[in-house]
């Protein structure tokens, strides 16, 4: 669930690439990981069952997810990954605000968390198993976001002109539009 280069992952990757030092990308890594931690905890607490039980809420979230992914895909498609570090590096406050928005306002991420983690959490009937499952999901999230920023930094050192980053952004945008298409199909199926 965390591997596709969606809005959250591509932003973390790009911030890792944009900053001269890894530590400068940490605000986005920590913000995204904290948001995922919150969503995971909400999902394993049983909120996912409520979302699944209300089809109208699913339709609303899917519709918002479609719009969100279309917009973010368009933004990423038109971003200039090959520009200088100053143009690509986002100030700390903006990093945090953008990471918050793409983490908590992204209906697709919410549906993924609720639909995948929440549904899988239901199978754990013992409290210790559920806590272990939640902690494992949280740990994977923190590790993945950290690695994304590190890999972004490594790619930028290898690809000084940013041609590879541009290609990654284009692929990411197309994948977001593809996911948005599947979401739209799901909305029509639910109607």
* Segments making up each domain of the chain, as ranges: 7-190
Cα–Cα distance, 51 to 64 (Å, whole number): 15
* Residue predicted with more confidence, 38 or 62: 38
Average pLDDT over residues 159-186: 88
Task: Give 23-40 pLDDT, tens digit per residue.
Answer: 999 999 999 999 999 999
- Quote the pLDDT of residue 82: 53
Q: Are 72 and 179 in contact (CB under 8 A)?
A: no
How many beta carbons lie within 10 A of that of residue 158, not counting itself? Answer: 8
- What mean pLDDT do residues 102-110 have? 79
Name all contacts of 173-178 with Cβ < 8 Å and 24+ positions apart: 173/73, 173/74, 173/76, 173/77, 174/73, 175/4, 175/5, 175/6, 176/6, 176/7, 176/69, 176/70, 176/72, 176/73, 176/76, 177/69, 177/70, 177/73
Q: Which are the contacts of 183, defined by CB distance < 8 A and separation ≥ 6?
A: 62, 65, 66, 69, 108
Q: What's this model's pTM, rounded to 2 decimal places? A: 0.83
Contact 40, 141 (CB under 8 A): yes
């Amino acid at each position: 669930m965390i591997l596709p280069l969606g809005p959250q992952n591509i932003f973390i990757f790009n911030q890792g690439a944009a900053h001269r030092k890894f530590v400068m990308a940490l605000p986005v890594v920590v913000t995204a990981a904290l948001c995922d931690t919150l969503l995971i905890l909400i999902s394993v607490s049983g909120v996912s069952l409520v979302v699944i039980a209300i089809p109208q809420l699913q339709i609303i979230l899917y519709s918002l997810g479609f719009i969100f992914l279309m917009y973010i895909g368009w933004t990423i498609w038109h971003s200039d990954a090959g520009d200088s570090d100053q143009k690509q590096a986002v100030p700390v406050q903006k990093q945090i605000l953008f990471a918050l928005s793409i983490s908590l306002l992204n209906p697709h991420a919410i549906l993924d968390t609720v639909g995948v983690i929440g549904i899988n959490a239901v199978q754990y009937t013992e409290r210790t198993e559920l806590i272990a499952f939640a902690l494992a999901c949280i740990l994977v999230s923190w590790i993945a976001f950290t690695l994304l920023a590190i890999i972004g930094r490594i790619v930028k050192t290898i690809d000084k002109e940013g041609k590879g980053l541009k290609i990654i952004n284009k692929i990411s945008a197309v994948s977001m539009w593809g996911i948005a298409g599947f979401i739209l199909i799901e909305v029509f199926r639910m109607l």
